[in-house]
Structures are given as C-alpha cells and as structure tokens.
Structure 1
Amino acid sequence: MIRDFLTGMGFMAEGFRIVARPGMRRYAAAPVLVSLVVFLGLAALLGWGFDTWMAALLPAGWDWLEWLLWPLFAVAIILVWVFTYIHLTNLIGAPFNDLLAERVLAETRGTPHPEGNWSQLLRDGARAAANTVAVLVYSLRWAIPLLVLTLIPGLNLVAPALWLVFNAWLLALEYADYPLGARGLAFREQRALVARERPAALGFGLAALVATSIPVVNLVAMPAAVAGATRLFAERVGTSAAPEVSQEPDA
C-alpha cells in the first residue's frame, strides 16, 4: 500500500517532466494561461477577505487560544481556496487539458497522435467539463459536512486533515477522467476503477494538491497533473475500450 502510494506521488513528478519536453509545451501553454488568470482572481479575493473570514471563524472567548487556532483555521481556509482554484481551472481549461491528455495517451500507446479538429476539441472538452461538474456534485455530500465541521469549535481541529484527504481523492477522480473518459466510461465507472487503485490515486492526488498549493508552481500544476494522471491510469488500468466494471462502494 505504501509502495503504491509513493508510486502515485511519483506520477505527478512524471507529469512535470512530460509537459517540460519541447513537443509537449504547446499543449500545456493554454492550461497555464487559464491557471494564471484564475489564480490572480482568487488570490485577490482571498487577500481582500482573509482577515474577515478569520475573525468570523475564531469563536468568541477563545482569544487565549488564538495562537493555536489561527494557523489551523488559516490552513482550512487555504484548503478551501485550493479546492475552488483547482475545480475552476479544470472546468475552464477542460478542452485544452483534453487535447494534452490525448497527446500523452498517444505517446503511451505508441500510436501516432490523431490530428483533431475544432469540433472534436469542443466535443471532448465538453465531456471533460461535464465530468468536472460531476465531481463537484459528488463532492457536495462531503464538502458541506466538512464546511460545517470547520465552523464547530473543538471539532474543527481535525478539519484540515479531513480536507487534505478529501481534496486528494477528488483530484484523483477529476484527473482520471482524461484517460478513462477517452474510453467511454461514465463517472461512476471511472470512480470504480480509481477505487481499485486507491493508494496510488491518493498518493497522486496528494502530490497534485501540494503542487497546486505552491505559488508559481501551481501555474504549471494543472497540465502536469493532467499528463501525470493520464500516464498513471493508462498504465494501471489500460487504454483499450471500456471494460466491465463492478459497482464499488460510494466513497
């Protein structure tokens, strides 16, 4: 399990190596631009409202514990911010991410890269965007309880750790769509396959989350995650037509 977890983390590093290659840079350029625009917008919003949100989260009468609670709440707010940033960039950049994933898939299969057209790009991008929405809908049943937990004094001490695991799992699901969606798999089928590789998926998701949380690095994190996840799930699950997938427990 630990070995698979570390292997999953390694695929994020592999993603950075892939998008840094001369032949891949043009496919990563548009996702990087999307990341930059979204990052600047959300960073401005966070800077404007951070103190207000912190004051609202710190319970009255707990001033003597502010030195301990402030960092915990700050981490929780940043994780929520990262969650928003990731899904916005993936939603907006879906068509370009799909094009990058197709190029990585072709390389993994050892086949010529198909020359796509604008209609195919928009169609595939719409599918990837729809999967991002599906992940967001799926996440609500966990995000809402976690947000409530973040507001409860005492219990909110464990909120940052739960947000960490939660975001890592969602990232694995979201980026897995690029290789698995190309096989015609629906979101529930994708989730079943990712669950079979849970340690590797969580390792990859955590590495992607860390990369997305680092300023400047996060501008390249999205295309790197697309490339890394495509290589990870193409190698672990395969790239052929959709297989029979048994139902997995909701998680």
Structure 2
Amino acid sequence: MRSLRDFAAGVGFFLQGFGWVARNGRWWAFGLIPALIAFAVYVVALILLGRHATDVADLLTPFADTWGWRKLFRTLVGIALFLGGLALAVLTFAALTLAIGEPFYERLSAAADPLEQEIEQPWWRTLPRSIRDSLVTLCYVLLFTVPLFVLGFVPVVGQTVVPVLGAAVSGFFLTVELTTIALERRGIARKERFRLLRANLPVALGFGVAVFLLFLVPFVAVVAMPAAVAGAALLIRTRVSPPPTP
C-alpha cells in the first residue's frame, strides 16, 4: 500500500508542475521554445525514418532474399524499426530539450526550487557534463529496452508484461533526466543521483511513468516539458532533498 501511495505521490508531483507553470505563465511560454526546436528535429528524423524504413529493412535482412514472404517480413521489420525510433525519440526528447535550453531550464528549476546554498557553475561547463551523463543514461536505457523489444514479439507476454515493464523502465530514466538540473544545483554527481532515485523508486516511477505516457501523445510533450522540469524540481525539494555538497 505504501508503494502505491508513493507512486501516486510521484504522479502528483507532475501535476504540481502543471500547477506551478500555470501560476508562472512566462516560464511556461519561454520553456516552449527549446521544446519546439527539439520537437521539430524529431519530426524531421521520424519522417525520414518512415520513408526509408523499408530500405533499411532490406539492408538489414539480406538473408531473406530467397524467402517467398520476404516482402511481408521486411515490411514488419520496417514497422518495428519505425516504432523503435519513435520509442527512442520519446526517451531522448527530454535530454535533447534540456541540452538545447539548459540555461533557461536551470533558471526555471531555481524559481520552482529556491536554495539557500546552491552549487553554481557556468553553463559552458555544465553542458558537456550533462551531455555525457545523458549518453550514459541512454546506454542504460538501451541495456533494458533492447531485450524488452525482442521480448515484445513473444505471444501474450509481449502484449501484456512487456509494455508495463517498458513504461516503468522508460519512466525511471525520464525521471533521471528531468531531475538532473535540480540535483546538479545541489552538487550531486551522476552515481549519487541514481542512488537517491533508486532509494525513492516508487515516487520516481510514478513521476516518470506519468511523463512518459503523456510524452507519447504528439506535441503534448512540447506543452508539458516546462511542467515536467518544474515538477521534477518540486519532487527533489519535497521528497528527496539531499543537502548541498560544499
């Protein structure tokens, strides 16, 4: 029961993020700019992938040249490639948006989560580290999602258990990305950030799964991005709240 309450509390922090940006409309308006840029990049990339998915499938499946049903097989492979690209876009949208708009989102996070003692560093130092941390997080994501993608083709399990596990994995790593700014402002390094979120796993999952499901809806991710950053800051301030590191 406690885990369910914590999961619901995590969802509640995302909703609190919407409430915060509703009360601070200028932050929401400016937060749309980086999100729109990232959204445009992904739209172009997905359109190109959709147009050439079958060609890529042909290159990846030369062993099927002699199969009588090779067209159907390669069409299915092409669909799987596009769906995989779409899932990857959802998982990396937050990271790319935060990288594009890092100076702004740092200010948004600071407004939602004011600190008496803050570890301040110039953005040209934090940006390379944030990109490196995002790449490390992406490797962890692929470590989980690639096996889940393969299991998705298993009857029954692929249509029931795998989507739930996929949403949980994606949600946790979205929380990792979105809480990065609030935790970096406290001087918390990547390994410690993972440890803190694992220690508060139900809350982290509730927040991240809610974000993940909403980000699946086209363009909604753009509108919800400022609220997700604000909600992540409130989550850290209220539930995790590690002390600043000197």
Shorter-chain TM-score range: 0.7 to 0.9
Name the residue aligned to 1:85.
Answer: 90
Structure 1 residues 75 and 16, CA gap change in structure 2 (3 angstroms):
farther
Aligned to 1:167: 170
Q: Secondary structure at the match of 2:122?
A: helix
2:139 match: 137
1:34 counterpart (31, 34, 37):
37
* Residues 198 and 183 (structure 1), Cα distance of their counterparts in 2 relative to 1, 3 Å cut: same
Partner of 2:7: 5
In the TM superposition, what are the counterparts of 1:228-243 in structure 2 within 5 Å?
Answer: 228-238=231-241, 240-242=243-245
Unaligned runs of 5+ in 2: 61-66, 68-75
Q: 1:221 to 1:46 in 2, by over 3 A?
A: farther
Q: Determine helix, strand or coil for the equivalent of 1:109.
A: coil
Distance 1:40 1:156 in 2: 27
TM alignment of 1:1-251, pairs within 5 A: 1-20=3-22, 21-25=24-28, 27-45=30-48, 47-48=50-51, 78=83, 81-91=86-96, 93-97=98-102, 99-109=104-114, 120-152=122-154, 155-157=157-159, 158-238=161-241, 240-242=243-245
The amino acid across from 2:231 in the alignment is G
User: Normalising by the residue count of structure 1, what TM-score does the alignment of the two structures yield?
Assistant: 0.73
Q: Which moved more, 1:44-53 or 1:81-90?
A: 44-53
Tell me how far apart the structure 1 counterparts of residues 83 and 213 of structure 2 sit (CA, whole Å): 12
Over the aligned positions, Cα root-mean-square deviation in angstroms equals 3.8
Deviations 1:26-63 (A, max 9, x none): 54133222233134224424643678999x9xxx9xxx
Aligned counterparts of 1:49 and 1:13: Cα–Cα separation in 2: 38
1:92 deviation in Å?
Answer: 5.2
Distance 1:162 1:80, change over 3 A: farther
- Report the identity percentage: 28
CA contact (8 A) 2:14 2:231 kept: yes
TM-score (norm 2): 0.74
- Contact persistence 2:109–2:182 (CA under 8 A): no
Contact 1:76–1:163, Cα closer than 8 Å, also in 2:
no
Aligned counterparts of 2:142 and 2:21: Cα–Cα separation in 1:
32
CA spacing shift, 1:235–1:98, aligned 2, 3 Å: farther
Question: Is the 8 Å Cα contact of residues 183 and 193 (structure 2) preserved in structure 1?
Answer: yes
Closer/same/farther in 2, CA of residues 78 and 95 from structure 1, 3 Å limit: same
